[in-house]
Amino acid sequence: MHLGIRNERSDRESRVAATPASVASFVELGFTVSIEAGSGAAAGYPDAEYADSGATVVDDLASGEPVDLLIMVTPPTEPDRTVLASNGVIVGMIDPSSTKDMLTGWGNEGITSISIEMLPRTTLAQSMDALSSQATAAGYAAVLLGVTELPKFMPMLVTAAGTIPPANVLILGVGVAGLQAIATAKRLGAIVYAYDIRPETKEQVESLGGRFIEAATQEMDEGGYARAVDEETAAKQREALASAVADADLIITTAQVPGRQAPRLIDRSMVEAMRPGSLIIDMAASSGGNVEDSAPDEVVDVGGVTILGPTDLASRVATDASRMFARNVLELVKRMVADGSLVVDHEDPVVGPAIVAPISPSQESEPVT
């Protein structure tokens, strides 16, 4: 079994799909591992450490033997096809909504594509949950970005020059990223308020020391995600949040609905009511944005209020984000190794739902190498 680790293509991406520690585990599983030179450098993992763990460092995966398993952080591109064996497998954050046509074509040629972000949110798959691990990293990084960009202290300070009040931080969306943002902001001494449309999150917010904002709520769906709301509910939601938004020094929005445009939580009139110098970080900017006027990776000024839409937050803490992602991938691959072969089982309760292509649920399990 030949495993390939590529150098991520995006200029904003510093993460890597495997660490030296996970490479050592892959070798123990029976893989021959090749990694493109410099793949882990930006995350703090030099080529020498990969070599010491049993990997072969190459300039380009395409110049060597075909790869049976290719792992990645960012979505695949056409050049990735050239490194794969005829019945190869790719595993990673492959963004099936935008790559499905390409991957379906590859599936017709015998390539199996497994989207780690489509794994079921079950206890069985918990150790493989890359969405949660990377949201943890992103939520933490969002608060640190806020600290550096906000022209205020986060904690209350009692000084000879007077008492400086703590910052008011508002977190909208209390999933994994939101909970990590609450915890981080509290550790830094801010007063933290939070809201999520799911009433189940109130207890979680309060357990971290945050104050839950009473507004419209509804039950989550079977997958544990918030359901999309109608415009009437959304309007009531914004009305209830208006005063909290106006009082906030820093707002971090994280609300997203899988496969749909992000819900609009803050409109321009709410932004205009905020104090000049306030800051909004819209973590959903890449999927439509929770905040009117936010844009992916752009800085927008509305009446002195700054709106940021970073898409690379997890990458800003690449060392530990990579460590977690690598463990997620390793645990998933472990589930697919049997008797020294890589086996893709469409009926497996964890692997099956994450197979983007080829889709053939009745297909019998068989080795792909």
Residue 363 bears catalytic tag: no
Residue 121 bears catalytic tag: yes
Distance CA 223, CA 122 (A): 9
Distance CA 198, CA 172 (A): 11
Along the 369 residues of the chain, how does pLDDT read in single tens digits?
999 999 998 889 999 999 999 999 999 999 999 999 999 999 999 999 999 999 999 999 999 999 999 999 999 999 999 999 999 999 999 988 889 899 999 999 999 999 999 999 899 999 999 999 999 999 999 999 999 999 999 999 999 999 999 999 999 999 999 999 999 999 999 999 999 988 899 999 999 999 999 876 655 555 555 555 666 777 778 888 999 999 999 999 999 876 688 989 999 999 999 999 999 999 999 999 999 999 999 999 999 999 999 999 999 999 999 999 999 999 999 999 998 899 999 999 999 999 999 975 444 444 444
Which of 63, 86, 126, 243 is an active site residue? 126
DSSP 93: -
Residues paired with residue 164 on neighbouring β-strands, in sequence order: 157
| Assigned architecture for domain 137-316 | 3-Layer(aba) Sandwich (3.40)
Which of 9, 47, 211, 225 is an active site residue? 225
Do 94 and 356 touch, CB atoms closer than 8 A? yes
Which of 129, 196, 249, 282 is an active site residue? 129
Please, which residues have CB within 8 angstroms of residue 141's CB and are 6 or more apart in sequence?
313, 314, 316, 317
Please, which residues have CB within 8 angstroms of residue 100's CB and are 6 or more apart in sequence?
356, 357
2-128+318-363 topology per CATH:
Rossmann fold (3.40.50)
Neighbours of 356 (CB within 10 A): 21
Report which of 326, 318, 327, 348 is spatially closest to residue 336, judged by C-alpha positions: 348
Classify 144 as helix, strand or coil.
Answer: helix
Neighbours of 209 (CB within 10 A): 13
Instruction: Report the chain's terminal Cα–Cα distance, integer Å.
Output: 7
Domain regions of the chain by residue span: 2-128+318-363, 137-316
Domains 2-128+318-363 and 137-316 share a fold: yes
Residue-level length of the chain: 369
User: Which tokens belong to 41?
Assistant: 């450098």
In the chain, what are the helix, strand and coil shares in percent, each to the nearest 5? 35, 20, 40
Residue 97 bears catalytic tag: no
Cα-Cα-Cα-Cα dihedral of 139, 92, 357, 33, to 10°? Answer: -170
Which of 9, 47, 60, 132 is an active site residue? 132
Which of 12, 121, 187, 268 is an active site residue? 121
